């Protein structure tokens, strides 16, 4: 998969060769980053998918998600802090929404920290709505997470995913 987005951003699937740069983004973006081993395991899982965003050939953000029966579950959205508020996360998520819709998935879900207002604003602007709460979801500080979902209209050209 590769998509040209916004003239400057290039989207493609993540590979093992990207792990060092992905880890640099992960550690810059999060106080409690996921481990290198976690990313390696995700890249090997058949249900795990990814979008890596590059600008000028350099990775600046990524999304890890799972394709489950009838839905996509977004596990991690990260953009290097130097590239935030430039449409990077929006471009990656819009790409996933478009592909999910064309493939007949019925919904997308994600969890977001209750304190992360900028991410919640982005997700709402993309059609996600709060549908639940996970108490103590984040292991680093016990913060609650909102569960958000976006319902997808199936494409007329593709069968529904089960």
- The pLDDT of 94-117, averaged and rounded, is 94
Residue 160 phi, psi (nearest 5): -70, 145
Q: What is the pLDDT of residues 101-110, one digit of tens each?
A: 998 999 999 9
pLDDT, mean over the chain: 89
- In degrees and rounded to multiples of 5, residue 135 shows phi and psi of -70, 135
> For the chain, where are the alpha helices, taking DSSP H only?
19-29, 36-44, 88-102, 117-125
Q: Which residues are catalytic?
A: 111, 123
Query: Which residue has tokens 């093992």?
Result: 16
Distance CA 62, CA 50 (A): 7
Q: pLDDT digits over 1-54, tens only?
A: 444 444 489 999 999 999 999 999 999 999 889 999 999 999 999 999 999 999
Which pLDDT score, from 0 to 100, does residue 6 have? 44
């Amino acid at each position: 998969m590769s998509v040209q987005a916004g003239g400057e951003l290039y989207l493609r699937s993540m590979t093992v060769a990207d792990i060092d740069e992905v880890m640099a983004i992960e550690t810059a973006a999060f106080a409690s980053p996921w481990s290198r081993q976690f990313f390696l395991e995700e890249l090997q899982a058949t249900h795990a998918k990814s979008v890596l965003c590059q600008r000028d050939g350099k990775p600046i953000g990524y999304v890890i998600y799972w394709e489950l029966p009838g839905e996509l579950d977004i596990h991690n959205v990260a953009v290097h802090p130097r590239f935030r508020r430039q449409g990077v996360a929006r471009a990656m998520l819009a790409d996933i929404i478009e592909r999910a819709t064309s493939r007949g998935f019925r919904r997308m879900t994600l969890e977001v920290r209750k304190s992360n207002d900028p991410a919640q604003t982005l997700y709402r602007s993309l059609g996600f709505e709060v549908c639940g709460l996970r108490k103590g979801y984040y292991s680093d500080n016990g913060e609650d997470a909102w569960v958000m979902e976006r319902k997808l209209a199936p494409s007329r050209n593709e069968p529904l995913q089960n």
